[in-house]
Structure 1
Amino acid sequence: MADNNDLQQEAAFPQRDLQLHSIGSYTLDLDANKHTSLEATDNEADYMNFIHGIVHEISTQGGRQFICNSMHTEVINIVSQIVNNDIDFSEVEAIADRLLRIEVEAQEKISRLGKQLHEGLLIISHITDRNVEKIIICKAETLSYIERTTFTQQDGFPLKKKIFKSVQITFDNDKNIEEIYVNDINESISKYWWDTFLELAKKYEDEENTKKAFSIIESKILNIIRKESNTDFWNLRNTTIHYFRSNEEFEIQDYIEKCLDGYVPEKEDLDIEKFALKARELPTKFVFDPQFSLVKKAITAKIKKTISLHESIDLVLKGEVNPGTIESARNGRQEKGIFIKTSTGFDEFGG
């Protein structure tokens, strides 16, 4: 365990005022049902940079917001006492004990399904980030590899870090818990992590998140696009409705990649990248979670039924259309049109 009171990591984090006060790290061995504390000194630069990089990455993220069920639950009680200087930081070892016990139980349950938990490295840190005091708890990746000179198996930490699960707990000036953000590399946040281990409750329910996320995307992204291009508005609105109704989980970056990043606008100078960047800021600016389970019944928006193509031709949509079924196109004379994937229609028009 490294104790780095008031240690300024200016070289590692030049763009932020980030102080790392104390860091504890533990390997969890589920098979042996034991954890091992990793001791490191400041001169072990590569290892410390690995740890500090993870702490920095999590402290710059948001996440799904949770609230405490009680101030007397084990993890919440320990971190609160640490921030209030009521106990020594070494007491975080009880958090490692708790997670090991819970993960052993969780592994026994999922092993019947042929699944396995990532064991990884547990990191617990006490930091001050731009005058905000925080406790960060996370599981990061460890690797087993064959050393190329001795050809023996070794364990180590990857330079390109993978963070499996994390919780970021922020405190106000009176050292009371202010906000709690939880992240998970999986599509949905594992219940054993936020419920059994951390004993938290969701701040916003999934249905509330679903309604708000769609409403904000529509008003702050799609309706702005409508002012520039009505055709692109309808294309992206229909794609957005399809995303909300066809996926089990919402994640803001996944939405951007599937609905905005690959979209080729009808209006040639429509800056889709600008709207993608704006979409990334929506959860923070308008207070909804960037990751949650979608409640499909909460989306009552209708896909546009009839689109006028010509004074004598209308395109009638009877329901949701999968992306790629209808696409804009230009022929060899650079005349604009649409392409509809259909074998029936192809035969009807003499194909």
Structure 2
Amino acid sequence: MNPIIKWASVHKIDITKKFDSKTTMINGDTDATDFVSKLLDDVSKSSAYKYYRFRSNTTEVHNIINSLSDNEWEDSATRISNRLYEAEEKAQKQVENLTDLRRGGLLQIYLENDNATLYVITKVDYDDYLGESLKKESGLPWEKRTQKVAIIEFNEEDHIVKVRDTNSTISTYWWDSFLELVELNSSQKNTKSAFMEIDNLLTRKVKKKSKIDYWNIRNSVLCYFRNNEGFSITGLIENTLLHYTPDNSSIDIKSLSEDLLNLPEKKNFDSQFDISISHIKGRIKKNIPLRENLELRFNGEIENLKDIIKAGEDSEGRKFIKIFSDTGYEEFKSSNNDSATENSQSDGARKE
């Protein structure tokens, strides 16, 4: 991102104190300008966003950014900051016995980039540190920067707003109370589309080459959807592929990761959203025919799948699968052959 920054400012947001209306402008060749440039670079590289639009053309933030002018920037930025302060006050009252909202600085940046006009609103960490004078000071950390991001793109029809949150789910007060947005894709639609398209990609790219790698990766995807409240495409890749060693060396994990990373844009679902697991229960189930009137059915994710189901071939060339199962063992054990399940593969024993 090589933006032309027209205006930039920062406000301190700390709801434990009275709202500070002071606007700190960021301009010139300063460390603060470098900080903003690094932040914009981080924002542009992120792949996890959910798309929204403004609830109406009369909402406050929409009206403010639509009527920006050189001599009104400080006032406009202060009004937007005050709105966030009020939204956080309200949100804190709703969760006061559970958690405390993190204080931070609200950076607002108006810029032009690649023939597009953007308004970036981001809440960044505001931390205490020991200064060179050995006195406690407060400021913005150089490395760990963003908590929440909203990127508003101006166009003639409707402003599209990309929202990201470092939390697993996007805070409601950020997109609803503060920005007054409506989602373009619901959590239900996103969950169904994402799971279906990911499974389709694995079927095309992995299953045709290696069925065992397909089942292992698909099972990890199921675990991710089941065990997380929020989805991000980068989080999915980190959880399913980052440390995965394929059984078949022809499976290119790097290429597969890139395909997954590009999937939200190609298939029109958000790269960050709340997971609605109830809307993919039907798609989770998979059946594998074993022989006539016998099949293996997956009803959901299985912890340590690779250690539970094993495939083999006995001395007579008969192929079998072995499933480690105490329950299954009790159902099928032979009274005169209790020890045979582990030592003899010729009977196709199945034990979990």
Task: Tell me whether 1:89 sits opposite 2:70 in the alignment.
Answer: no
Q: 1:320 aligns with which of 292, 300, 312?
A: 300
* Structure 1: runs of 5 or more not aligned: 1-15
Task: Tell me whether 1:67 sits opposite 2:67 in the alignment.
Answer: no
**Mapping 1:160-199, distance limit 5 Å:** 160-172=143-155, 174=156, 176-199=157-180
SS in 2 for 1:42: coil
- Structure with larger Rg: 2
Partner of 2:214: 233
SS in 1 for 2:241: helix
Partner of 1:262: 243
Report how far residue 110 of structure 1 moved: 1.9
**Counterpart AA for 1:304:** K
SS in 2 for 1:292: strand
Partner of 2:114: 130
Deviations 1:121-172 (A, max 9, x none): 100110111111100101011210123x533211122221331111101013
Judged with a 3 Å threshold, the aligned counterparts in structure 2 of structure 1 residues 171 and 81 are, in CA distance, closer, same or farther, namely same
Percent sequence identity over aligned pairs: 26
Report how far residue 285 of structure 1 moved: 2.0
Partner of 2:283: 301
What TM-score, normalized to structure 2? 0.81
What TM-score, normalized to structure 1? 0.81
Deviations 1:218-276 (A, max 9, x none): 22333221222222223323333343344332221121122222322221231122101
Within 1, Cα distance between the matches of 2:251 and 2:44?
34
**Counterpart AA for 1:74:** E
Task: Tell me whether 1:120 sits opposite 2:104 in the alignment.
Answer: yes
* Structure 2: runs of 5 or more not aligned: 313-318, 343-352
Task: Tell me whether 1:100 sits opposite 2:80 in the alignment.
Answer: no
Within 2, Cα distance between the matches of 1:39 and 1:237?
49
Partner of 1:280: 261
**Counterpart AA for 1:67:** R
Q: 2:64 aligns with which of 78, 90, 115?
A: 78
**Counterpart AA for 1:141:** D
Within 2, Cα distance between the matches of 1:318 and 1:140?
43
Conserved 8 A contact 1:325-1:341: no
**Counterpart AA for 1:100:** Y
Q: Number of residue pairs matched? A: 322
Conserved 8 A contact 1:107-1:117: yes
Partner of 1:207: 188
Within 1, Cα distance between the matches of 2:44 and 2:227?
32
Task: Tell me whether 1:219 sits opposite 2:205 in the alignment.
Answer: no
Structural RMSD (CA)? 2.9
